Amino acid sequence: MTGPRIDSMSEPLSTPVPVVLAGARGHGRWHVENIRRLRRKGLVRLVGVCELTPLGEDELHGLGTPEQSADFGALLESTGARIAVICTPIPTHTDLALTAAHKGVHILLEKPPAPSYAEFRRMADGVAAAGVACQIGFQSLGSHALPAIRELVAQGAIGQLVGLGGAGAWVRDEAYFRRAPWAGKRRLNGADVIDGALTNPLAHAVATALALGGSTRAEDVTGIETELLRANDIESDDTSCVRVTTTQGHPVTVAATLCAEHADEPYVLVHGSSGRITFWYKQDRVLLQRADHGPEEFEYGRTDLLENLVAHLTTGAGLLVTPDGTGAFMKVVESIRRAPDPAPLPDAAWHRIPGENRRVVPGIDGLVAASADTLSLYSELGAPWARPAGHRQKVSAR
């Protein structure tokens, strides 16, 4: 997922690079803090914030006095920004990215990059035509564990690669699905949103599993099976699984839930013919288990994706997460978009935790782990509420 530096200007940029942030609340607060960190390192300076309601002095502490406006395009022009960090509702990603691209501004675009494959292609093709750099915000793909795991597999540490399984068992209360007008929606005002467990909160599990298997581009995917369900009173899925068939011949299966009995760290399990590797991608922690060896555990560092984008523009470093490097993930998003609406779980399949205002699916924690362990879908594991076969789609590259 590296390549030559792409710069709409012929000369490399110099630091600190002027940055505009679109979407500074909600998850955007993470980007505010990250920009604050990189400002201290002399790499960026925040010159603009695009929000419907301006940030207060306390929110901007340590960031100077950036210009604030709800007009993203005008803000890019008036500030002279060279990078735009876009952390706005999913349906706005494509248009905002293209607005930045057409003004020659480089982009860090929050995941998921788009709510449909058509919108993704419109964004990726438009960005490429404009000649600007675009980094997609799958932070886990900046982990130094990924090349280390790939090297272990290439060396035959776990034998032949058999397949990859992702597992995400998270806890979210009912208020989580009311955090924004688009939360928990498949569509809003006629526009695709596709805010499901696999496409947004646990999208990293999908993208990381695909990346570790070397299946990052759209043409690497040949088929997708999904089982999409929901315990909460929402449109989208909160308990789901997917199996991706790849040109490499090894399946990639990911099971996710936001209705876990107990929150757990998400991970990707790399299956080999004589061992396996577990990667807890939020912790950059790796466990190697193989025949005739004791277990070995490693911890790795991580390259921040905005910092990598700055390095790309100033020193020519390769981008870590290009749009085309997320094409396979977007094929999964498209399959979920085209699938029948998630089926509501029967009342007997879930219960509400007193005092926590959240819905729990008993036994789902074990099913998520079993899916990653066996590369199976929920229905294949005997879950009585799962629809056999779910939704199956043969996938083309475009």
Model pLDDT for residues 224-257, shown as the tens digit of each residue: 999 999 999 999 999 999 999 999 999 999 999 9
Mean pLDDT of 263-275: 98
What tokens does 276 get?
């396996």
Mean pLDDT across the stretch 348-375?
97
CATH code of 58's domain? 3.40.50.720
The answer to whether residue 7 is domain-embedded is: no
Shared domain check, 387 and 349 = yes
Structure tokens at 191: 């526009």
133 plus 239 within the same structural domain: no
Q: Kindly state whether residues 241 and 338 are assigned to the same domain.
A: yes
Percentage of residues in the chain having pLDDT higher than 90: 93
Same domain, 99 and 170: no
> Pick from 141, 139, 27: which is nearest to 89 by CA?
27
CA-to-CA distance for 77 and 269, rounded, in angstroms? 46
- 334 Cβ contact list (under 8 Å, min separation 6): 116, 117
Co-location of 135 and 68 in the same domain: yes
Last-in-domain residue among 100, 116, 140? 140
Domain assignment of residue 266, given as a range: 143-301+323-394
In a domain, 93, yes or no: yes
Considering only residues 271 and 396, tell me which one the structure prediction assigns the higher pLDDT.
Answer: 271
| pLDDT recorded at residue 5 | 37
C-alpha closest to that of 139 among 108, 170, 183, 178:
108
- pLDDT in the model for residue 121: 98
Quick check: 264 pLDDT over 90?
yes
* CATH code of 171's domain: 3.30.360.10
What pTM was estimated for this model as a whole?
0.95
Mean model confidence pLDDT for the chain: 94
Count, residues in the chain: 398
Q: What is the pLDDT confidence band of residue 354, given thresholds at 50, 70 and 90?
A: confident
Q: Per residue in 191-210, is it b (16+ CB within 10 Å) or e — as a string?
A: ebbbbbbbbbbbbbbbbbbb
Query: What would the two tokens of residue 16 be?
Result: 């600190």
pLDDT at 26 over 70: yes
What pLDDT is stored for residue 397 in this prediction?
Answer: 47
d(CA 128, CA 102): 10
- Indicate the pLDDT class of residue 396, thresholds 50, 70 and 90: low
268 within 8 A of 250, measured Cβ to Cβ: no
195 lies in the same domain as 266: yes
CA distance 135 to 391: 31
Shared domain check, 277 and 171: yes
In a domain, 200, yes or no: yes
